Structure 1
């Protein structure tokens, strides 16, 4: 915890300091999804792309393409260490021994590699083709080669934005910046310490300020909150600090299966959101049963879900108002003959401490609530700039950076989301998906992260 961030930033040669130091420096769910893909879809080609939803931050003007390439190439050269493989082999995840199959771990050690990539600068669709100032970072290859790029690439781009901003400050200013950020973090922790029965996890890898800052935040939470910190989604930090690795799966799976099912009938497309759950349950022997229902709309998902879905362990909320989504899930469980007090509800979208506390109080005693605290844990430097608000201009503020599948097996991918601002895919396909899934266009909500 005794890291002098200001001195390190002021004196360090960033070129010699890789952002991703280990293949474990990723969200745990990516490893679980990689094993699922390796087992069920080893030959499916996909494409994914980085997209910056905070368009006022022109990343192509802040990040050197050559430096970005060096960081990406460094990750492509990484291999899992023997000690890391032993930990993956023998550790108990969610109380389940040997969650990773020996054949998968052998493949991960000997045959896994990341796909190639393309870097360019986005241009407008108009006749002049003006540059927008946004990076285009695209990954194409077998799904097993592409899926892991998501978190590595997001963390790299996010930290390169950080490093560019740090380079503009002198050592005194850097001291002020980090002093303010540490004070803000401690104020948040002080509030959380007053809440009995609180459960939260670190979900902040992909849009973090830096790896070292994320590690500092996780260690601070662990020491101050004790068992209230359930763990971290960052597998490297879980390994290094003996914490629980947290995660299951993400929107990528239903998006890909829906794309492949879209070749068939509308019924095939609609059923794909449940087929992926069946396949997941078989792949993990009915463990890790947390649904993520908002890929094509939460309400339609619950209304059409088979009864066996209600017997799953719980639900993660992403793009819907968590108070509304939690009430909806509880009512659905009761209607399906389940006791909500035995289920888990995980909120994870753009949370900060006051919302976490309110959610805990609102759902306490009704369902087993926990919070996945992400970007506003590991990258909240808003208003910390030593030169004041006029110099801030989103220099250190978090941005909404995402990496989404754009195609699977040659078919474009779609995500509808409960928030139209998060929808992705070609307009004509979005229209078809809305018709098939019965997902109306809901009111748009601001997207911070």
Structure 2
């Protein structure tokens, strides 16, 4: 595929960025089914958060075009082929991962309305409604904003400039893949949907990983690409679940138990490699110190904030303290990874634990240095649950730069979860 020519032609007519409801991360569908079952009446508000406030999204992206793209997504529904894929495929060794009642609902699903407002040089974009419905806006909304920002920069470039740009980006990625080829026992997946350069580019990256890494490539988080390229759909759960469960807690005691209730509900539905703990929502060390014994039997842990080596060492000590052999446990690294960090972490922990990597933005959006004023460099854009049934949500993270929520509630959560001094890390993406 000549991506440069496709990009050049984007300027002539509306080219939908999101063309399928399953152009989303696999974990969103797994979590959606859990929410559909366990919290069918919870009302949640999601909001866009641009952590890189120096990037003026509203000055770069035309509001009319943004609305066209969002309106297009609201008209999407599951196709027959997509339904067959979700109903009949084997995920994580399990057939019928998605229950019939959930699939019947999803097959008639349409995304709910959105609220968009320009405030200065930024957009306020929010989604409100039933949790199972509103949550499915997160990934497509982020994909639209990231790609429209890319198109705004690329639209000022001529045909041969685009050809050279994509040739350089392809070369950069292939050089990264060549470095990864030399890592024995590597297991790596694409986690790059939410902040990708574009759908076409993510699809190209996955194809490059398939060819270049073979069995080292575990699959992709993107359901549509997994279906089209016949690779594994990868993903478990995310911070959204404990954030909303915690917001619904009526007392400090219930708040302290909320993260474990999330995993109790998850355990009742999933087994094997889907039993992965994400411990950092309210601080990894405190979470593990208070964790019930049954959690130590789970398959592994995902490290998604703070210093990744510190997080893995903490997990190893915790497993040892609970009588578990860390060599039988899986550690998934997924925060701000690039080739050098992947190689470093693999060398340090291979043989001590089972190591895997979810490679995100710097796989699917590494155009650093390729445009004037570095206008295509990736940046941190998120869409998070802000409230549940009218109560604010809070995230503390192992990196205070990723914390979110009202200041008084952040202080309360730090007290309840005994979060001490934290080490700030740069938020790369």
Q: Same fold (TM over 0.5)?
A: yes
Q: Does 1:221 align with 2:221?
A: no
| Map 1:288-303 → 2, pairs under 5 A | 288-303=274-289
Q: Deviations over 1:68-125 (max 9, x none)?
A: 1111111111111111111111111111111110111111112x22121111123xxx
Structure 2 residue corresponding to 1:53, chosen from 51, 54, 57: 51
Q: Deviations over 1:291-331 (max 9, x none)?
A: 10000000100000010010011000101211111111011
Partner of 2:269: 283
Distance (Å, rounded) in 2 between the aligned partners of 1:287 and 1:417: 23
Distance (Å, rounded) in 1 between the aligned partners of 2:169 and 2:239: 32
Distance (Å, rounded) in 1 between the aligned partners of 2:266 and 2:201: 34
Would the aligned equivalents of 1:334 and 1:340 in 2 still touch at CA under 8 Å? yes
Distance (Å, rounded) in 1 between the aligned partners of 2:272 and 2:407: 36
Structure 2 residue corresponding to 1:397, chosen from 370, 377, 383: 377
Partner of 1:274: 260
| Map 1:120-135 → 2, pairs under 5 A | 120-122=117-119, 131=120, 133-135=121-123
Q: Does 1:446 align with 2:426?
A: yes
Distance (Å, rounded) in 1 between the aligned partners of 2:348 and 2:242: 30
Would the aligned equivalents of 1:44 and 1:142 in 2 still touch at CA under 8 Å? yes
Distance (Å, rounded) in 2 between the aligned partners of 1:140 and 1:11: 35
Distance (Å, rounded) in 1 between the aligned partners of 2:271 and 2:178: 40
- SS of the residue 1:337 aligns to: coil
Partner of 2:342: 356
Distance (Å, rounded) in 2 between the aligned partners of 1:59 and 1:444: 26
Partner of 2:81: 83
Distance (Å, rounded) in 1 between the aligned partners of 2:273 and 2:379: 34
Structure 2 unpaired stretches of 5+: none
Would the aligned equivalents of 1:342 and 1:368 in 2 still touch at CA under 8 Å? yes
Distance (Å, rounded) in 2 between the aligned partners of 1:77 and 1:308: 43
TM-score norm. by structure 2 comes to 0.98
Q: How many residues end up aligned between the 2 structures?
A: 429
Measured at CA, do residues 15 and 141 of structure 1 come closer, stay the same or move farther in structure 2, by a change above 3 Å?
Answer: farther
Structure 2 residue corresponding to 1:409, chosen from 362, 369, 389: 389
Q: Does 1:258 align with 2:246?
A: yes
| Map 1:201-212 → 2, pairs under 5 A | 201-212=189-200
Partner of 1:433: 413
Partner of 1:118: 115
Structure 1 unpaired stretches of 5+: 123-130, 386-390
The Cα of 1:14 is off from its aligned counterpart by: 5.8
Structure 2 residue corresponding to 1:243, chosen from 222, 231, 246: 231
Distance (Å, rounded) in 2 between the aligned partners of 1:274 and 1:430: 19
The Cα of 1:39 is off from its aligned counterpart by: 0.7
| Map 1:150-169 → 2, pairs under 5 A | 150-169=138-157
The Cα of 1:285 is off from its aligned counterpart by: 5.9
Partner of 1:368: 354
The Cα of 1:194 is off from its aligned counterpart by: 0.9
TM-score norm. by structure 1 comes to 0.94
Distance (Å, rounded) in 2 between the aligned partners of 1:316 and 1:284: 16
Partner of 2:126: 138
Distance (Å, rounded) in 2 between the aligned partners of 1:137 and 1:343: 40
The Cα of 1:343 is off from its aligned counterpart by: 1.0
Distance (Å, rounded) in 2 between the aligned partners of 1:271 and 1:193: 43
- SS of the residue 1:148 aligns to: helix
Q: Deviations over 1:58-77 (max 9, x none)?
A: 11100111111111111111
Distance (Å, rounded) in 1 between the aligned partners of 2:226 and 2:72: 22
Distance (Å, rounded) in 1 between the aligned partners of 2:9 and 2:263: 50
Q: Deviations over 1:351-390 (max 9, x none)?
A: 00111111111111111100000000000000122xxxxx
Would the aligned equivalents of 1:281 and 1:287 in 2 still touch at CA under 8 Å? no
Would the aligned equivalents of 1:15 and 1:67 in 2 still touch at CA under 8 Å? no
